[in-house]
Chains A and B, each alone.
Chain A
Amino acid sequence: SQQGEEDPQALSIQEGENATMNCSYKTSINNLQWYRQNSGRGLVHLILIRSNEREKHSGRLRVTLDTSKKSSSLLITASRAADTASYFCATDAPGYALNFGKGTSLLVTP
């Protein structure tokens, strides 16, 4: 079963705009990760935020985590066409596997 739920399912913006994606999850976590997947290809890790962290930055990415609301958000600033991809949040599952959501499909048009 998939624990994470991304919102929106699809997002279309123009280059230069910011893109915000949200993730909600159901059970307590140790950490939450965001991955990107270009069309039909493998996933690329973007950022990991631990449960005791509230915000983390990496380049044009900003991730927030609210454990009381069981939610996270991913902000991509100054979007580029190359950011077009599907974005997944993943929470830790029992053991060391990851539980992925269904993803947000982001389209950035020039």
Chain B
Amino acid sequence: DTGVSQDPRHKITKRGQNVTFRCDPISEHNRLYWYRQTLGQGPEFLTYFQNEAQLEKSRLLSDRFSAERPKGSFSTLEIQRTEQGDSAMYLCASSPKETGLTDTQYFGPGTRLTVL
């Protein structure tokens, strides 16, 4: 069990560019989540996958954001036409489907995005 991994760990981009982040969950975890965290704040939920199905999206996830989880394994989060307000830490988490309730989530180290 290598834990949740995210790539890249840091990304600096210019405003207007597209960026894509990758998350590899713990194997056999069928739930995967994306969160965004800005300085001094707690993580805010963006979207949730169960296997390959994207079941929930936050209102924070504007049309410029898209997430995929092909084959129910790794996931990608793409931001198009980045804005300075997108600068944040993007966290990925996974959890096993153990109960019908919210379970413990295992977080990756995050991708820190800086938009210049």
Flag A22-46 by CB within 8 Å of B: 1 or 0 each. 0000000011010100001111110
The total of chain B residues at the interface (CB under 8 A) is 30
6 contacts between A and B (CB under 8 A): A43-B93, A92-B102, A96-B31, A96-B50, A99-B45, A102-B42
| Cross-interface CB contact of B102 among A31, A41, A88, cutoff 8 Å | A31
Instruction: Note all chain A residues with C-beta closer than 8 A to B35.
Output: 100
Q: How many angstroms between the C-alpha atoms of A21 and B58 in the bound complex? A: 28
Q: How many angstroms between the C-alpha atoms of A41 and B45 in the bound complex? A: 17
**Minimal beta-carbon separation of A59 from chain B (angstroms):** 16
Q: List A residues 84-110 near B (Cβ within 8 Å).
A: 88, 90, 92-103
Q: Which B residues are closer than 8 A to A by beta carbons?
A: 4, 31, 33, 35, 40-45, 48, 50, 55-56, 58, 89, 91, 93, 95, 101-110, 112
Q: How large is the interface on A (under 10, 10 to 19, 20 to 34, 35 or more residues)?
A: 20 to 34
**Contact flag A92-B101 (CB < 8 Å), given A43-B107, A97-B48:** yes
Select from chain B the residue with minimum beta-carbon distance to A50.
B101
Select from chain A the residue with minimum beta-carbon distance to B112.
A40
Instruction: Note all chain B residues with C-beta closer than 8 A to A103.
Output: 41-42
Q: How many angstroms between the C-alpha atoms of A97 and B32 in the bound complex? A: 9
| Cross-interface CB contact of B42 among A50, A95, A101, cutoff 8 Å | A101
Q: How many angstroms between the C-alpha atoms of A41 and B112 in the bound complex? A: 10
Residue pair A45, B45 in contact (C-beta under 8 Å): no
Instruction: Note all chain B residues with C-beta closer than 8 A to A100.
Output: 35, 42-44
| Cross-interface CB contact of A45 among B91, B106, B110, cutoff 8 Å | B106
**Minimal beta-carbon separation of B90 from chain A (angstroms):** 11
